[in-house]
Amino acid sequence: MILLCKKKQQMTKTKITVANGDGIGPEIMEATLDILFAAGANIEVEHIEVGEKVYLSGNTSGIAASSWDSIRQNKVFLKAPITTPQGGGYKSLNVTTRKMLGLYANVRPCHSYFPFVSSKHPKMDLVIIRENEEDLYAGIEHQQTDEVIQCLKLVSRPGCEKIIRYAFEYARQYNRKKITCFTKDNIMKQTDGLFHSVFDEIGAEYPEIEKEHWIIDIGSAKMADTPEVFDVIVTLNLYGDVISDIAAQIAGSVGLAGSANIGEHAAMFEAIHGSAPRRAGQNMANPSGLLQGAILMLNHIGQPEVAEKIQNAWLKTLEDGIHTYDIYKEGHSQQKVGTKEFAQAVIERLGQLPQQLAPVSYATGAAIQLKPYVRKPARTKELVGTDVFLHWPGLNPDELGQIVSQFSTESLALSMISNRGIKVWPAGFAETFCTDHWRCRFTATNQQKVSSKDIIAILEKAVEHQLDVIKTENLYTFDGKAAYSLGQGQ
């Protein structure tokens, strides 16, 4: 019975949604699919159109409703790079897809293929796992004064738990030994601090995996210098975006890296490079990046043996010196080939193993399933103050302090004014540069209970004084512990 079920499973093709993309996209997609089918991938392809044509037809998101249906139904999306037209109004399809489908994990293996592809880091073999949905990429930006614009950095507990648990499960599945967490929690103690503490908390459930934390600045310097000391790196969205391109580049070429965007309900696989329009239609582009994305996809859909066969044939092709123009090097390479010929060379080597590069073995494949997120019991949350942000064109903080301190109520008193986070009142430094964006912090006096009415009273006084209130941020304690940052210099 079990055998019968397995056989039936093997016979049922996995339906995947495929977008050929723009520029070099159609050529590298054709080459990739040729290799997949020649290797016996058990897939059925459903094509959709996304990208430039869709954008230029007036759809600013670059994807039609029927294409969303295909992706949501098939849950697996192999996407060639697309061109986002220049000019206003066009939304990045990648960002939209990641967010709409909740693709919270971006996985990017960065491997050196030295000496066949030149790299200063012959032993590099690291995987970057980047949080993909939140952080500064929540895209919440506001201009608040003539001089100041803000971008909100949102970091959530479920967001941290999902990506960190994913990283540990990935390490377990792919037999990786160490995970390094990169944050900047010496400065962003609340947001990055949460990411770090969730890393420590979840890491404790994986005793067999070595764990370490680096501050992102020195960590990325170390990664660029000696990447071989890292195995898996997990980090927040913006840091991950930056370091994953650096890692791919120093591994040898951005043209050789693929990535997976994984969510609970769907996954998208792609090359990391763009549509290289100048190379389009010339049978020149290297299909390797997209092929690497497709290999991640085969593992995800539970076809690791096909993934392994292709990866080993691809390694053998690189090793045999059959190279597209971007990695071709006189003296190193044997033959400069086009996109089609490269794909053909990989197909001819299916079943062969590389001799010098380490062959891969994907013992286990299948989508990583995470324990569902469980919301923790609510903590005791108490309102203890408010930050009132003002657009004030004056230059002297003491003058503002004199006006705003009159707004204090019985339970809330002005305790600090800061400008771009630096305390400028009371007792600020004349040397501190001030913009027109001021934060006036009112905090609880004499253990009095603070209510929203106190905040409204402050705002009413600000309006009476014709001050331009941009926004307020409430100050809370959770279980008695202050959950807001102090002003720098406070």
Name the one residue in this structure whose structure tokens are 């994807």: 63
Choice between 77 and 425, CB closer to ligand NAD: 77
Q: Tell me the window of 273-281, 375-383, 388-396, 473-481 that interacts with ligand NAD (CB under 6 A).
A: 273-281
Enter the tokens of residue 102.
């909740």
Which region among 64-72, 80-88, 110-118, 312-320 touches ligand NAD (by CB under 6 A)?
80-88
Complex with ligand NAD: residue 24 or 71, whichever CB lies closer: 24
Token pair, residue 319, equals 């090793």
Report yes or no: 193 and 185 within 8 Å, Cβ to Cβ: yes
Assess 274 for contact with ligand NAD (CB under 6 A): yes
Question: Which residues, in sequence order, are CB contacts of 49 under 8 Å at separation 6+?
Answer: 19, 20, 64, 67
82 lies in the binding site for ligand NAD (CB under 6 A): yes
Q: Which of 2, 3, 88, 278 binds ligand NAD (CB under 6 A)?
A: 278
CA neighbours closer than 13 Å in the CB half-sphere of residue 392: 27
Of 94 and 220, CB closest to ligand NAD: 94
83 binds ligand NAD (CB under 6 A): yes
Q: Does 401 bind ligand NAD (CB under 6 A)?
A: no
CB 326 → ligand NAD: shortest distance, Å?
4
Q: How many residues of this chain bind ligand NAD (CB under 6 A)? A: 20
Which of 270, 308, 387, 454 binds ligand NAD (CB under 6 A)? It is 270
Token pair 């942000």: residue: 389
The one among 94, 311, 344, 419 contacting ligand NAD by CB under 6 A:
94
Told to check if 103 binds ligand NAD by CB under 6 A, we report no
Which is closer to ligand NAD, CB of 252 or CB of 397? 252
Specify the residue, 270 or 320, whose C-beta has the smaller distance to ligand NAD.
270
What does the angle CA 124 – CA 127 – CA 133 come to, to the nearest 5 degrees?
Answer: 150
Q: Does the protein bind ligand NAD through residue 27 (CB under 6 A)?
A: no
CB of 236 to ligand NAD, least distance (A): 20
Q: Are 323 and 336 in contact (CB under 8 A)?
A: yes
- In this chain, which stretch among 2-10, 142-150, 267-275, 366-374 interacts with ligand NAD, using CB under 6 A? 267-275
Stretch that binds ligand NAD, among 66-74, 178-186, 278-286, 462-470 (CB under 6 A): 278-286
- Which residues between 245 and 264 bind ligand NAD (CB under 6 A)? 255
Q: How far is the CB of 297 from ligand NAD (least distance, A)?
A: 15
Task: Give the pair of three-digit tokens for residue 114.
Answer: 């030295």
Q: Which member of 19, 129, 276, 294 binds ligand NAD (CB under 6 A)?
A: 276
Torsion over CA: 319, 322, 323, 324 (sign): negative
Per-residue string for binding with ligand NAD, 287-316, x by CB under 6 A? --x---------------------------
* Residue 91 Cβ vs ligand NAD, minimum distance, rounded to whole Å: 12
When the beta carbons of 80 and 434 are compared against ligand NAD, the nearer one is: 80
**Binding-residue pattern over the window 171 to 190 for ligand NAD, x denoting contact by CB under 6 A:** --------------------
Residue 365 in the binding site for ligand NAD (CB under 6 A): no
Which chain residues interact with ligand NAD by CB under 6 A?
Answer: 24, 28, 81-84, 94, 255, 270, 273-279, 285-286, 289, 326
